[in-house]
Amino acid sequence: MFNYRFSRRVLFILFLLLFSGIRVFGYEIFYPSEKNYTTTYDYGLFVGKARSSESITINNEKVFVASNGAFAHSVKLREGDNRVFIRSNYSTKVYNICKKKEVTKVQPEFKEVVEHVVLVNKDNVPLRSAPEDIGFNIISYLFKDTRVIINGEKGNYYRVFLSKDKFAWILKSDITEFVNADKTPASFINTESQKYKNASIQTISFTKNLPYTVEDGEKEILFRVYNPELSENSVYTLNILKPRNYFYNVTLKDGLYTFKVSEVPKSIEDCTIIVDAGHGGTQKGAMGCLGDEEKNINLRIALELQKILREKGAKVVMTRECDGTISLKDRIQIAKDNDVDIFLSIHMNSIGNVAYEKSKYRGTSVYYFNRNSKELATILEKSIPQYAGTKRNGVRTASFAVIRPASYVGVLIETAYMINPLDSLLYTQENFAENVAKGILCGLEEFIQK
Ligand SMILES: [Zn+2]
């Protein structure tokens, strides 16, 4: 009896040890965080870490595992329920993903509206070339109390009349109808130009606040003010020759436009550079194969960059220096409050609803939005890989909020892919952040001094 009980206890302990051993040593999945979820995406991505001797299959497909255990794989989803089996020689996990059909929105119809004058009801109102909310169709940011003429509507937008052959779109909620509209034409007062330090400043003055656009052309910047006389052809244009590295901004007060084109200082000591560690606090950013969070890697790189830029004598402004939550709007405001010349946003890449390929989604890519930032993006996409050992992954345009303002040269650096096992071998190395920072500094020096 005693022996029986004893051996039963031994067996039980052995079983517990074995079971917990599998749990400790078996693979882990860090993304997705839920075992059951609903999506409209075409693919479901899985990233995780295997133990050294573990081989992984996902729905019977063998998955590449890097020497540190990192792996990533995506599964094509069909509409309805999808069961995904992740197997290793130690354990099996089952995920249930429900793919829902994306609801296609009914396109609203265009309707004529009796032409009349309305007022913009706040600052920074986007004026768009099409009635939809995408960054690339923004042609201007209007100021409060700008008088605009509307003559059509589509969905949530009014069509704005600018000149004989130029229309734009504004959100209905961004304007105020006013009953006794002042229909008297605005008149042109004067224009002046002056030089100040590294900037050329043009002022153009009217009796009312009017809509404007800025076009960044091949050699010059075209600043246009529309319909002061409420007629088809009344457009005022200022042409301003661009320096090689430049940024610009517009202010408006009581009909007086001030248009400033600045040149990036030619030495790094004279530059004010904002270093923006992406995400932070409750916003973790992308999740890596090893269970690491993007926000922490971004911060490490940002702090290294802060250090070496200061050593070079640059004035450095940080959007965060610790693990705190900060909005995109506040990051931009910090840049504007400090009159920065260059905005460097540091991120690590991930992928969304696409088929994962380990050679395609790997390495450093640099994004810009405005034409004035293309050159810096191009230089950095070459210089960072030289120091960090990453693959070059391309220079692209994207409508990210922090690089949308043209009032500085702004780029967003996706240093490497959190979800790429081969990149995870690099970004977990101790000197990775320092090397990335060196690559950024080298590119910056080339951009500034060229
Ligand atoms: Zn990010």
What is the distance between the alpha carbons of residues 292 and 348, in angstroms, rounded to a whole number? 11
Q: What is the pLDDT along the chain (450 residues), one digit of tens a residue?
A: 456 666 677 666 655 555 554 455 689 999 999 999 999 999 999 999 999 778 999 999 999 999 999 999 999 999 999 999 999 988 899 999 999 988 888 889 999 999 888 999 999 999 999 999 988 999 999 999 999 999 999 999 999 999 888 999 999 999 999 777 666 777 777 888 898 888 999 999 988 899 999 999 999 999 999 976 656 667 888 888 899 999 999 999 998 999 999 999 999 999 999 999 999 999 999 999 999 999 999 999 999 999 999 999 999 999 999 999 999 999 999 999 999 999 999 999 999 778 999 899 999 999 999 999 999 999 999 999 999 999 999 999 999 999 999 999 999 999 999 999 999 999 999 999 999 999 999 999 999 987
Measured in Å, residue 231 CA sits from the centre of ligand 1 at: 47
Provide the b/e sequence for 40-61 (b: ≥16 CB within 10 Å). Answer: eeebbbbbbbbbeebebebeee
What is the distance between the alpha carbons of residues 265 and 195, in angstroms, rounded to a whole number? 15
Which of 45, 43, 23, 42 has its CA nearest to residue 33? 45
Measured in Å, residue 1 CA sits from the centre of ligand 1 at: 64
Measured in Å, residue 117 CA sits from the centre of ligand 1 at: 42
Q: Which structural domains are found in the chain, ordered by start?
A: 22-99 (2.60.40.10), 110-176 (2.30.30.40), 188-263 (2.60.40.790), 268-449 (3.40.630.40)
Answer whether 208's CB lies under 8 Å from 189's CB: no
Measured in Å, residue 232 CA sits from the centre of ligand 1 at: 45
Measured in Å, residue 209 CA sits from the centre of ligand 1 at: 38
Pairing relation of β-strands 342-349 and 409-417? Answer: parallel
Measured in Å, residue 157 CA sits from the centre of ligand 1 at: 31
Measured in Å, residue 293 CA sits from the centre of ligand 1 at: 10
User: pTM score, two decimals?
Assistant: 0.90
Measured in Å, residue 435 CA sits from the centre of ligand 1 at: 19
